[in-house]
Amino acid sequence: MNWLTRQASDALASLRDPAAHFRYGLVLAVLIAVADRLSKWAILYWVDLPARQKITVTPFFDLTMVWNPGISYGLLPANSTWSVAILVIFALVVTAALTVWLARIENRLLAAGVAMVIGGAVGNAYDRVVYGAVADFVSLHAFGFYWYVFNVADVAIVVGVVLLIWDAVFGPEAREERARRQSPGTDNDQ
């Protein structure tokens, strides 16, 4: 077996290696949490957006300081120390469950999706612990329509969920299930 064949064989073997996907996922989750933290540090302390409140960057993009005490779209606002603690505990439980799932994943796309949700959840949980609310600052708008104000962690969570849905519909297990259902000699009534 020559070097190139061995490398190709090792690469193919790693495609279904949960340990490799776990390491990849942990690195990606940490990178996302760090990117979220750095972006918020820049907005809060370098740009000093809380003092400026709004900076128009383009006709469709503003930096706007919003402290979100709840979850997405301001749902379930945390108006007390207890409600903040409950949201933080919930985020930590979800993160722990996703980390256990990440350790068992056998494909990289699914690992990326789970890792993005973990990294985003950690980034927003950090804000809740330190500030009591999540720092949001990206405001996109066009033709009088304003999308909700968000941050890097929110983007990671949304993209991660999209990857999870994509994997559920088009991923290897979904393809195998469709092939199994379409193959002759199988009972399709179950």
Catalytic residue among 36, 62, 154, 167: 154
Q: How far apart are CA 98 and CA 69, in angstroms?
A: 23
Task: Sort strands 145-146 and 54-58 into parallel, antiparallel or unpaired.
Answer: unpaired
Dihedral sign (CA 83, 154, 124, 66) = negative
Active-site entry in 36, 62, 127, 136: 136
Q: Which helix (H) or strand (E) holds 141?
A: strand 134-142
State the residue for tokens 């903040």.
Answer: 84
Tell me, yes or no, if 136 is annotated catalytic. Answer: yes
3-state secondary structure 143-154: CCEECCCECHHH
187 labelled catalytic: no
Contact (CB, 8 A) for 155 and 64:
no
- Pairing assessment for the beta strands 134-142 and 145-146 based on DSSP bridges: antiparallel
Q: Which residues are catalytic?
A: 136, 154
